[in-house]
Structure 1
Amino acid sequence: MLVVAENQIAGLMTPEAAFDAIEAVFAAMARRKARNFPVIREALGYQDALYGFKGGFDADAPTLGLKAGGYWPHNQDRGLINHQSTVFLFDPDTGRVSAAVGGNLLTALRTAAASAVSIKYLAPAGARVLGMIGAGHQSAFQMRAAARAHSFERVIGWNPHPEMLRRLADTAAELGLPFQAVDLPTLGAEADVIISITSSFGPLLLDEHVKGPTHIAAMGTDTRGKQELDPALVARARLFTDEIAQSVSIGEYQHAIAQGLIAEEAIGELGAVVAGADPGRNGAEVTIFDGTGVGLQDLAVAAAVVELAKAKGVAQEVEI
């Protein structure tokens, strides 16, 4: 078994490589060459932690495996990031474990890459203003990936804890973009593309906030009960997701489904847009991508980083 430690990932995996891997996974899913397995995600009742497993099989690659990990909200008190995970890859021919890969940075990169893919294919023409809802650890990755996928002129942002907005301001400055802290009604009215990346359990961006042609990448809802968007906003948008089954059960669309505001048939797959089988915006004023985070994305970036580690001679071999 090969081991690629967490502290090696930054020197191996680039945001560009992550984008390419995730874009390819979306297309493979649309061609039905790859599938995700049902997600297991549970509250531990200890340290307020959420823990679970995401896995899948990509016959095109071929790649088989799972990611184990979750969310520990008190980790910041220990000097650790809240999301902790490890990816395990298996030989699809024999079932033997082939690699264990640190998953923290990879999760951040693949999550940001997924929203960036949605921006590439669904942003309204002439989009200039990027709106950021949330200023946690993942927000910087999201902003950087969005700026690679589309040319923005400025960034506006909101966070429930305003003292954290420095992360957004610093990241925008790094990208050479002006930044302004705004309230949510202003953000919804002025932003052409909005990324929401919070751990909210109630709607933040309301229907009346969003004005004009807009694309929203809703990236924070990955557990039953979590919510970032007003169901009425979801109901008037053209809807896309990474995995429909996850979206209606643990993703952002669970709430509009539960209220009877949308039918599951109204939800499209982003992979179909990537593969050219779906026209995408197709004249819609508002599009939403519900990024629930699928196991195939984790496997794709992990497999890519293993190959890079092997090529550079830094993968550790362990007998099990």
Structure 2
Amino acid sequence: MRNNARLILLDKHQVEALLKPDDVVEAVRDAFALHSQGEGRVFPVVREPLVTGGVFGIKSGDVQAQGLLGFKAAGFWPANRALGGEPHQATIMLIDPKTGRPLCVIDGNAITTMRTGAAGGLGLQLFARADSSRLCVFGTGVQARVQVSFALRVLPQLSRIRYVTVDGQRDVSFEAHFAGRCEVSHATDRNAAVADSDVVITATPGTRPLFDAQAVQPGTHFNCVGADTKGKRELPEGLLTRGRLFVDDRTQAREIGETQWAPNTECVEIGDLITGRVQMHRQPDDITLFDMTGIALQDLTVARMLHERAGATGTATSLAWPW
């Protein structure tokens, strides 16, 4: 009955209690597969600068056959750092496709972080050399940490991590975060760090190349996380065309991802590899790149999983929401 309708709310602490990395990986894998099969739709992205200095965006989509519909309102507010808060902010809403009424409102920060990390882990499993043991990461923030965490989960021989900071200074907290799991050291020469790595992860809000193209050695894999808005970039000119390019969504990557700087580059969507529509045979000297812009279906499949789990465990706030 309409008058008995309720709205489920999941706050930051409830989301973090329910999120499990393995479950997120499966939800993200499902999102990419649905996208490949044409069952999951991704609607045009909204991504606009604000006079406050922030960037606001909306990613939305649906899976009609499964009754899944919703959006994530999110963006980047750098001034939050001065307030002691996280610059990335996100809120996810699931909607009943039959009525248009909201079903669930979820704090999306932890979801965004972990679903992006899970996508990075899938990218490493599919594209990086299995014997990769040396990793270089640009950035030491929330997303850099989750990317490295998933790398340690999926690359069993990974034993050394070198990190590059924007200010060139050592990040003691980043080192402590991974202490005991592998060797972690600060790199002051970014080109040397890239040249001496099997895997490179770029996770910064950068707008210009982080290293020189000539530093890249045959066999290197790149997970490119930072470019998610027009004008942002982390890779040097010419690198995309030197390697084998993979994306989460072809159109989105060309609009807001690293691929915006070489939009005519041939690429393959990761979902097509997951579903077997495309086969990949990596050669040892191949340079591979995964341009990760993050698609709405990742947020929605993870949000649906949390909505179901919250109902099963009673971990949620429920409000009367009559109409």
TM-score when normalising by structure 2: 0.93
- Counterpart of 2:220 in structure 1 is 214
Q: CA deviation at 1:241?
A: 0.5
Distance 1:124 1:222 in 2: 26
Partner secondary structure for residue 169 of structure 2: helix
Aligned residue among 202, 217, 234 for 2:208: 202
Q: Is the 8 A contact 2:45 2:57 kept in 1?
A: yes
In structure 2, distance between residues paired with 1:57 and 1:166: 42
CA distance in 2 between counterparts of 1:109 and 1:128 reads: 23
Counterpart mapping for 1:27-66 below 5 A: 27-46=33-52, 48-59=53-64, 61-66=66-71
Task: List per-residue Cα deviations over 1:176-201 (Å, max 9, x = no partner).
Answer: 10012222112211211111100000
- 1:278 alignment partner in structure 2: 278
1:125 aligns with 2:130: yes
1:96 pairs, out of 94, 101, 104, with 101
8 Å Cα contact 1:202/1:228 also seen in 2? yes
Letter in 2 for 1:269: E
User: In structure 1, what residue type is equivalent to 2:107?
Assistant: G
Aligned to 2:289: 288
Q: How does 1:291-302 map to 2 (within 5 A)?
A: 291-302=292-303
Higher gyration radius (CA): 2
> Within 5 A, what are the aligned runs for 1:246-285?
246-257=252-263, 263-264=264-265, 266-283=266-283, 285=286
Two-structure CA RMSD over aligned residues (Å): 1.5
Offset at residue 125 of structure 1 (A): 3.1
Whether the 8 Å contact between 1:139 and 1:168 is mirrored in structure 2 is: no
Q: Aligned partners of 1:318 and 1:205: how far apart in 2?
A: 50
Contact 2:90–2:108 (8 Å) recurs in 1: yes
- Give structure 1 regions of 4+ aligned residues with deviation exceeding 4 angstroms: none
| Rounded Cα–Cα distance in structure 1 between residues aligned with 2:174 and 2:12 | 25
Provide the TM-score with structure 1 as the length reference: 0.93
In structure 2, distance between residues paired with 1:20 and 1:181: 33
Distance 1:164 1:99 in 2: 41
Separation in 2 of the partners of 1:277 and 1:10?
A: 35
The CA deviation at 1:135 is: 1.1
Alpha-carbon shift at residue 60 of structure 1 (Å): 5.3
Report the 3-state secondary structure (helix = DSSP H, G, I; strand = E; otherwise coil) of the residue aligned with 2:75: strand
Gaps of 5+ in 1: 258-262
Worse-matched range after superposition: 142-151 or 241-250? 142-151
Asked if the contact 1:49–1:72 (Cα under 8 Å) also holds between the matched residues in 2, the reply is yes
Q: Distance between the aligned counterparts of 1:60 and 1:154, measured in 2?
A: 45
- Rounded to whole Å, the distance in 2 between the matches of 1:288 and 1:167 is 28
Equivalent residue pairs, number: 312
Kept after mapping to 1: 8 A contact 2:62/2:70: yes
- Deviation per CA, 1:114-136: give whole Å up to 9, x if none: 11110011111311112111112
CA distance in 2, matches of 1:196, 1:26: 21
Deviations 1:98-145 (A, max 9, x none): 100010111110111111110011111311112111112221111111
Question: Which residue, 213, 234, 239 being the options, matches 1:233?
Answer: 239
